[in-house]
Amino acid sequence: MFFLILVLIPVLRKPEFRPLFPSLFHNVGVRYRLVGWISLALLIMTGIFNLGYRGYGFADLVSGRLFEGPFGRTLFMKLVTVALILMISAIHDFWLGPTAGELLREDPLSPRGNSLRRAAVMMGRINFVLALLMVLLAVILVRGGI
């Protein structure tokens, strides 16, 4: 996310690269989507492993014991954040982004395409903030309260 925001987009907005922006950004996005979903899957698997390492199991989830105390409340907030990231990513990656891209490739001035593109950009920004929150919550889980 940092790479896209801090490196790729500013470079592609330069006048000499402007004609390349749509196709290059689309290709990077498709590649990034694969890497992003693999990363999310790995984060979920390592999260489950870490809970097992801390002595929590499926019975703790079912009974609600997993969400007791400060650790449990922080974990719950992190899981809600992860769920939001997964939902927003799925909508962005599999519907909004592809639909906007298709409409804009057909007609670069398409009002609906530009509206969907702006919505996709906003969802990307929201996901970026949620990802930062997720990292903060992960640090709190490991290190204790702030």
Q: pLDDT of the chain along its 146 residues, tens only?
A: 788 888 888 888 899 988 888 788 788 888 888 998 999 999 999 999 989 998 999 899 889 899 999 999 999 999 999 999 999 999 999 999 889 988 988 898 999 999 998 999 899 899 999 999 999 999 999 888 65
How many domains, the chain?
1
- Look at residue 82 and tell me if it is in a domain: yes
- Look at residue 97 and tell me if it is in a domain: yes
- Look at residue 15 and tell me if it is in a domain: no
At residue 146, the pLDDT reads 57
Asked if residue 112 lies in contact with residue 103, where contact means CB atoms within 8 angstroms, the answer is: yes
- Look at residue 135 and tell me if it is in a domain: yes
Look up the domain containing 29 and give its range. 25-143
At residue 145, the pLDDT reads 65
Asked if residue 136 lies in contact with residue 127, where contact means CB atoms within 8 angstroms, the answer is: no
At residue 12, the pLDDT reads 84
Which of left, alpha, beta for 107 (phi over 0: left; psi -120 to 50: alpha)? beta
- Look at residue 123 and tell me if it is in a domain: yes
- Look at residue 118 and tell me if it is in a domain: yes
- Look at residue 30 and tell me if it is in a domain: yes
- Look at residue 18 and tell me if it is in a domain: no
Measure the CA–CA gap between 123 and 101, rounded to whole angstroms: 15
Measure the CA–CA gap between 20 and 116, rounded to whole angstroms: 20
